[in-house]
């Protein structure tokens, strides 16, 4: 046991020395997350602002001009052009000059004041950007509601409809997009850094030829994995702490949950990445390959993470995939902890799932390691098994049970007793 | 500048790419594969709102309101009976919003006044909160309309008839698939960055220094190799987008080809510049990840529009080749815009490619480090 710890410690020191030597990498591990968070924090979740709007006013009345002014006064819209026809405005939209068209029909002002009729205004948003068009249509609806309220107040006519909804946004009263996007960035940053570092642990050694030196040391498989994992785990925890500090201090987002719990739940998350990274670095021959495998994995994980589409809105197959995606569970935990103040009582499910994935992925990496450190060793191992099986078959045919290799087709007389040579076994450790 | 030397670098790079089946697959086919994975999640369209309803009124009218909500496909309705329960459901993230119908709801409506209904939203995801607000407002308006008819109240003065141009059924996927194309092309681009860093790491740069090849020839050969190899991935991507996901392609295929070359020149140029700066592949990956991949989701206008309030971040957004290519892909696929509508992003990409390749060849020194 002491020897094991001693050997692991030696490997950890070596890994940390190697990490410390690459100054640029060290900068990226420490400074990269900070810079990325600062940069992204300033702009991620930038809402729709001053979307260029084209008006096709066929009414040309005071009421229609009032509508245009109200549209222009919103933060979202900026009236940029006046068109004579919808077709003309659509041509502008095709060339990307404007993002939304508002068409006011003739007879708008009369319909507006007539209690028996509704005025209908057509809004066409550029659907090529889904979020922008959704926001634009919602803004237009809000403007319509406002004008309706103004009218009812001014003319003291009927109420603004029988049912009115009053909205309160819990956890985020002003519906500011920043806290959510920054907390998700936090999770993604910890994810990237740990996965990349883990994924190149073995490939780099293989490329530099030092893997062979490692194989002749008395390090066992689990010791090797542990020694490679611990520095990555440290980096992950430091990055988590660093980015959380930045989120709380610089971006002034209150931490509603418990920090120790966040760090505790980060451990299984980082372990998953270490498992994946080890697996990838064992199956790829060069670092370049490892990098590309990592990116494939990152893309899949980010797709499933609920970052672009919430997991509950995905099609069924993707929902299954997202339930085994560590990032998805981690983002649920991070957002729940920091923004909603959730405790372990409401986060037990993602926490359990994360631990389960960690165990499964580590087991996968360990199995791969058992097959040997070479990229083609699984193939060789299978070949060995195949040859062994064939040999056994042939022996059975020949009616012989000792393991002595024989030439093909050489018939041997049946021995009556065990041969008198020593059974020598050579064990080779990876 | 000798064409012969450039071509021999080109041939060498192609050997590198073709030799490894795994690298080959990554450069040619992985963009299409990743596009499938990323686009599938947008298939089911806009989200349902998980709603908890607390009916304090318990009259036939409030139940009628609840019933119309339950029968609406946009909502999945559960029930709650006090504020603590609502709070717990919100913290657990099992609901997106809670609606509280106050006592006296039916009396207020029947007397012709406006009844106020409280809605508590989960404000964390603002886009989801906005969608929930929109669905609920629309539903309340419909219900109001039905009531107005029932009780002969006057009609609403102003109604909006809205539509998303180019997206007939407001299909989110049609907008997202073209927007994702620049991101999936970051795979071969990153391969280029790490291929350059690899020469330094593996020591083959030393061998190159002793050859008569010049910096521009070397970079040019690498650039052309990776741009043409990545371009080979365009056809699978296009097939996946149009045939598998049924995204319309309304523009000119030739223009798409030309502008993709434009985009790849800028991105591979930028990747080579970065790969040249760093010493190890690991660092090159980190740089590429921080510069191409993650910002690809956040800063290019693929999901949220580009933020123009801050000069630094705006400049950063426009310095990324992907930002311009998102505009180009969406315009070509969905709108069918011609070169007259796309000369701005096309020119920007051209400027960026000249800038990055120029910077790359200026900083490239055939010297040991």
Instruction: Using the Cα atoms of residue A14, residue A16, residue A18 and residue A21 in order, give the sign of their dihedral.
Output: negative
Q: How many CB atoms lie within 10 A of CB B127?
A: 20
Counting Cα atoms < 13 Å in the Cβ hemisphere of A103 gives: 15
Q: What is the pLDDT of residue A8?
A: 86
- Out of B98, B116, B151, a domain closes at B151
CB contact under 8 A, B126 and A168: no
Query: What 3-state DSSP class applies to A167?
Result: strand
Query: What 3-state DSSP class applies to B79?
Result: strand
User: For residue B157, is it within any domain?
Assistant: no
Nearest to B117 among A148, A163, A302 (CB): A163
Partners of B176 on chain A (C-beta within 8 Å) are 130, 308
B46: pLDDT strictly greater than 70: no
Place B155 in a pLDDT band, splitting at 50, 70 and 90.
Answer: low
Same domain, yes or no: B84 and B206? no
Q: How far is CA B25 from CA A72, A392, B16, B236, in A?
A: 51, 39, 13, 12
User: For residue B305, is it within any domain?
Assistant: yes
Q: What is the pLDDT of residue B163?
A: 76
Helix runs in A59-177, H state only: 62-73, 86-94, 108-113, 130-155
Structural tokens at position B139 = 């539903």
The 3-state secondary structure of B100-169 reads: EECCCHHHHHHCCCCEEEEEEEECCCHHHHHHHHHHHHHHHHHHHHHHHHHHCCCCCCEEEEEEEECCCC
Nearest to A46 among B128, B143, B304 (CB): B304
User: For residue B249, is it within any domain?
Assistant: yes
Measured in angstroms, the CA of B270 and the nearest CA of chain A are apart by 18
Same domain, yes or no: B59 and B34? no
Asked if B128 has any chain A CB less than 8 Å from its own CB, the reply is yes
Element holding A361 (H helix, E strand): helix A344-370
- Out of B151, B183, B214, a domain closes at B151
Same domain, yes or no: B37 and B177? yes
CB contact under 8 A, B195 and A288: yes
Nearest to A45 among B134, B165, B304 (CB): B304
Same domain, yes or no: B111 and B181? no
Domain count, chain B: 2
Give ∠ CA B136-B140-B146 in degrees, rounded to 5: 145
pLDDT tens, position by position, B304-354: 777 666 777 778 888 889 999 998 999 899 888 888 888 889 999 999 999
Q: Mean per-residue pLDDT for B63-71?
A: 87
Q: How many CB atoms lie within 10 A of CB B78?
A: 14
User: For residue B212, is it within any domain?
Assistant: yes
Chain B residue at shortest CA distance from A40: B298
Same domain, yes or no: B67 and B25? no
CB contact under 8 A, A96 and B310: no
pLDDT tens, position by position, A295-319: 778 878 888 887 777 777 777 777 8
Tell me the domains of chain A and their CATH numbers.
2-42+177-370 (no CATH), 51-155 (3.40.1710.10)
Instruction: Using the Cα atoms of residue B171, residue B177, residue B178 and residue B182 in order, give the sign of their dihedral.
Output: positive
Q: What is the pLDDT of residue B235?
A: 92
User: For residue B88, is it within any domain?
Assistant: yes
Nearest-angstrom CA–CA distance, B176 and B46: 12
Q: How many CB atoms lie within 10 A of CB A376?
A: 10
Structural tokens at position B78 = 């559960």
Contacting A residues, span 63-82, partner chain B, CB-CB under 8 Å: none
Whichever domain contains B88, its CATH number is 3.40.1710.10
Structural domain range at position B53: 49-151
pTM: 0.74
Measured in angstroms, the CA of A336 and the nearest CA of chain B are apart by 7
Same domain, yes or no: B140 and B286? no
Q: Mean per-residue pLDDT for A141-159?
A: 71
User: For residue B196, is it within any domain?
Assistant: yes
User: Could you tell me whether strands A51-57 and A77-82 are parallel, antiparallel, or unpaired per DSSP bridges?
Assistant: parallel
What is the full DSSP assignment across B257-280?
HHHHHHHHHHHHHHHHHHHHH-SS
Same domain, yes or no: B59 and B12? no
Asked if B305 has any chain A CB less than 8 Å from its own CB, the reply is yes
Burial bucket for residue B342 (CB in 10 Å: 0-12, 13-18, 19+): buried
Q: Mean per-residue pLDDT for B191-200?
A: 80
Burial bucket for residue A297 (CB in 10 Å: 0-12, 13-18, 19+): middle
Structural tokens at position A246 = 């930045």
CB contact under 8 A, A93 and B335: yes
CB contact under 8 A, B156 and A161: yes
**Reported ipTM:** 0.75
Burial bucket for residue A188 (CB in 10 Å: 0-12, 13-18, 19+): buried
Same domain, yes or no: B265 and B132? no
Nearest to B140 among A125, A130, A165 (CB): A165
Same domain, yes or no: B276 and B359? yes
Same domain, yes or no: B203 and B311? yes
Nearest-angstrom CA–CA distance, B86 and A171: 13
Q: Mean per-residue pLDDT for A377-384?
A: 76
User: For residue B159, is it within any domain?
Assistant: no
- Out of B151, B185, B216, a domain closes at B151
User: For residue B368, is it within any domain?
Assistant: no
Higher pLDDT, B282 or A351: A351
pLDDT tens, position by position, A131-146: 788 888 888 888 887 7
Same domain, yes or no: B226 and B318? yes
Same domain, yes or no: B211 and B265? yes
């Amino acid at each position: 046991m002491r020897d094991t710890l001693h050997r692991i410690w030696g490997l950890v020191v070596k890994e940390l020395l190697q990490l410390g030597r690459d100054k640029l990498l060290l900068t990226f591990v420490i400074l990269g997350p900070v810079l990325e968070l600062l940069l992204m924090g300033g702009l991620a979740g930038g809402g729709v602002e001053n979307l260029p709007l084209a008006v096709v006013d066929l009414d040309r009345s005071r009421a229609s001009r009032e509508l245009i002014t109200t549209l222009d006064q919103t933060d979202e819209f900026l009236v940029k052009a006046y068109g004579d026809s919808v077709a003309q405005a659509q041509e502008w939209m095709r060339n990307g000059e404007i993002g939304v068209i508002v068409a006011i029909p003739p007879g708008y002002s009369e319909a507006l004041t007539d209690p028996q009729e509704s005025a209908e205004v057509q809004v066409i948003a550029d659907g090529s950007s889904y979020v922008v068009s959704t926001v634009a249509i919602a803004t237009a609806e809000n403007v319509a509601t406002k004008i309706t309220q103004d009218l009812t107040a001014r003319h003291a006519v009927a109420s603004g409809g029988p049912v009115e909804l009053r909205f309160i946004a819990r956890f985020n009263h002003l519906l500011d997009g920043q806290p959510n996007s920054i907390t998700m960035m936090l999770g993604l940053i910890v994810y990237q850094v740990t996965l990349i570092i883990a994924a190149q642990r073995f490939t780099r050694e293989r490329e530099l030829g030092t893997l062979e030196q490692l194989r002749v040391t008395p390090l066992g498989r689990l010791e090797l994995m542990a020694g490679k994992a611990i520095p990555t785990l440290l980096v992950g925890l430091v990055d988590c702490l660093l980015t959380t500090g930045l989120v709380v201090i610089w971006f002034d987002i209150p931490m509603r949950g418990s920090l120790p719990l966040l760090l505790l739940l980060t451990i299984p998350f980082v372990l998953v990445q270490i498992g994946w990274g080890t697996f990838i670095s064992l199956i790829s021959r060069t670092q370049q390959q490892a990098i590309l495998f990592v990116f494939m994995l990152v893309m899949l994980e980010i797709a499933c993470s609920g970052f672009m589409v919430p997991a509950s809105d995905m099609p069924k197959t993707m929902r299954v995939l997202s339930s085994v995606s560590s990032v998805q569970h981690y983002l649920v935990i991070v957002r729940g902890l920091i923004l909603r103040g959730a405790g372990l009582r409401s986060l037990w499910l993602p926490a359990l799932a994360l631990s389960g994935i960690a165990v499964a992925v580590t087991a996968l990496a360990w199995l791969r390691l058992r097959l040997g450190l070479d990229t083609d060793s699984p193939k060789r191992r299978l070949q060995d098994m195949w040859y062994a099986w064939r040999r056994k078959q042939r022996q059975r045919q020949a009616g012989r049970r000792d393991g002595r290799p024989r030439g093909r087709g050489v018939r041997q007389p049946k021995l009556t007793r065990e041969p008198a040579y020593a059974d020598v076994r050579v064990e080779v450790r990876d | 500048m000798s064409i012969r030397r450039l071509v021999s670098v080109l041939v060498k790079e192609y050997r590198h790419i073709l030799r490894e089946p795994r690298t080959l697959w990554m450069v040619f086919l992985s963009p299409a594969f990743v596009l499938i994975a990323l686009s599938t999640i947008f298939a089911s369209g806009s989200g349902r709102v998980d709603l908890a309803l607390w009916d304090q009124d318990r009259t036939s009218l409030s139940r009628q309101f609840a019933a119309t909500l339950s029968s609406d496909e946009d909502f999945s309705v559960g029930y709650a009976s006090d504020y603590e329960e609502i709070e717990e459901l919100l913290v657990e993230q099992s609901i997106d919003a809670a609606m509280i119908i106050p006592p006296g709801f039916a009396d207020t409506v029947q007397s012709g006044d406006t009844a106020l209904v409280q809605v508590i939203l989960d404000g964390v995801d603002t886009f989801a909160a906005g969608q929930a607000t929109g669905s609920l407002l629309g539903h309340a308006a419909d219900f109001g309309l039905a009531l107005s008819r029932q009780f002969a109240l006057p009609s609403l003065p102003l109604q909006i008839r809205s539509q998303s141009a180019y997206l007939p059924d407001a299909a989110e996927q049609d907008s997202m698939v073209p927007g994702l194309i620049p991101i999936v092309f970051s795979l071969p681009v990153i391969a280029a960055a790490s291929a350059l860093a690899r020469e330094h790491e593996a020591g083959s740069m030393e061998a190159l220094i002793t050859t008569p090849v010049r910096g521009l020839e070397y970079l040019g050969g690498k650039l052309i190799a990776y741009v043409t190899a990545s371009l080979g991935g365009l056809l699978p991507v296009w097939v996946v987008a149009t045939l598998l996901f049924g995204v319309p392609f309304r523009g000119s295929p030739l223009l798409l080809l030309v502008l993709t070359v434009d985009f790849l020149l800028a991105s591979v140029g930028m990747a080579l510049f970065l790969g040249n700066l760093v010493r190890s592949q690991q660092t090159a990956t980190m740089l590429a990840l921080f510069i191409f991949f993650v910002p690809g989701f956040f800063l290019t206008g693929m999901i949220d529009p580009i933020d123009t309030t801050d000069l630094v971040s705006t400049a950063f957004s426009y310095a990324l080749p992907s930002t311009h290519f998102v505009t180009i892909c969406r315009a070509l696929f969905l709108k069918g815009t011609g070169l007259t509508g796309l000369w701005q992003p096309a020119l920007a990409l051209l400027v960026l490619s000249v800038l990055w390749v120029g910077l790359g060849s200026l900083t490239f020194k055939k010297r040991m480090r």
